Amino acid sequence: MAALPTATRPPAEPRPAGPVITKPGIYLVRMLVFLVLIGFLAFVLFRQITPAFLANPGLNGLILGVLLIAVLLAFGQVLRLFREATYVNAVAGGGQARAPHLLKPLEPAVAARAEGATLPGTRAFLDTVAARLDEGRDILRYIAGLLILLGLLGTFWGLIDTLSAVGSVIRSMRGGGDAAVMFDELKNGLAVPLSGIGLAFSASLFGLAGSLVIGFLDLQAGQAHARFHNELEDWLTSGTETAAPLAAAPGTGARELQEAVDRLTGVIQEGANGRAAAQAMANLAEGIQGLVQHMRSEQQMIRDWVEAQASRERELKQVLDRLGRERV
């Protein structure tokens, strides 16, 4: 009986001459330049902005505070990629490094790719990393909408004060008096409605401006995440894929899948560390890949058998037709 082929380790690829993951420094530069331009514009318009801010310093200060928090979060989303890129470049260059939190599920795949191979199921872990990156930016999207809502809140607040003040002025006016006195009363009474209008438009101004700033920073963070994910995916999937052989005995893929599930269950029950759990997940993905390839092999065998039977039937039909014509 012929021996089953065994999987051989692919030859190690030469180490890359440069970094495989580009650090997102260019996006930090864009964000800083944009903030400098915004600060310069605020400095030029300082005299016009100050009365608008003082119209309601409480609400406008809250908007600026939320804006500052969002700016720090946006920079944090880009700065975190430096650790991830440093780790991948260190492992790709043959060094040793501890996997950051974001790339913890991909630690076995990164180590295997550094040796010139690609683990099955790597794309599933890449999707997990993409989901984590996207979740980190959810708070930025929420804050951008929150700033607009705070501006609208100030708008309605100011309109309510304006309508109430106008109603009070109308009720306080006395008829039949001197026209000059009535005009002075009307002028003094309209000071409060005008302050309410200033409250409404100042809050909207700061809310919309803050949302504009956060929108640009979120755009730069999204572009940095997308480039990091694309470069990581290109590097991880460019190696030689190591998978189970196709010429396996019937049921081998199912047995491998069951063994991988048992190992993963044992790791979870024993409370193993993250490295062991990630390795067990990689083994599970490898078992699933072997089962899928075994099923594809069987499907191909069935298709070949069906095509062979159809070919024999066509040949038999041609022979019968020829015999029928010769008898005639």
202-256 pLDDT, tens digit per residue, is 888 888 999 999 999 999 999 999 898 888 888 887 765 554 333 333 444 555 5
The DSSP bridge partners found for residue 77 are: none
pLDDT of res. 170 = 64
Question: Are residues 55 and 126 both part of a single domain?
Answer: yes
CB of 225 within 8 A of CB of 80?
Answer: no
Q: Is the pLDDT reported for residue 114 higher than 80?
A: no
What letters, b where the CB count within 10 A reaches 16 and e where it falls short, cover 147-178? beebbebbbebbeebbeebeeebeeeeeeeee
Instruction: Compare 277 and 73 and report the one with higher pLDDT.
Output: 73
Going by the DSSP 8-state scheme, the letter that residue 280 receives in this structure is H
Same domain, 138 and 89: yes
Please give the pLDDT value at position 154.
79
Q: Are 76 and 219 found together in one domain?
A: yes
Residue 68 located in a structural domain: yes
Residue 195 CA, chain-centre distance (Å), reads 44
- How many domains does the chain divide into? 2
d(CA 247, CA 83): 42
| Whether residues 155 and 231 fall in one domain | yes
Residue 203 domain flag: yes
Residue 304 has pLDDT above 90, yes or no: no
**Same domain, yes or no, for 209 and 322?**
no
Q: Residues 94-122: what's their mean pLDDT?
A: 75
Decide: 16 and 93 in contact? Cβ < 8 Å: yes
- Looking at residue 31, what is its pLDDT? 94
Answer positive or negative: Cα dihedral of 233, 234, 239, 244. Answer: positive
Asked whether residue 18 is assigned to any structural domain, the reply reads: no
Q: Is 218 helix (H, G, I), strand (E, B) or coil?
A: helix
Domain residues for 215? 25-238
Average pLDDT for 304-312: 79
Alpha-carbon distances of 170 from 187, 240, 246, 282, 317, rounded to whole Å: 12, 83, 90, 77, 104
Q: What percent of the chain has pLDDT over 90?
A: 17
Tell me which of 133 and 187 has the higher pLDDT.
133
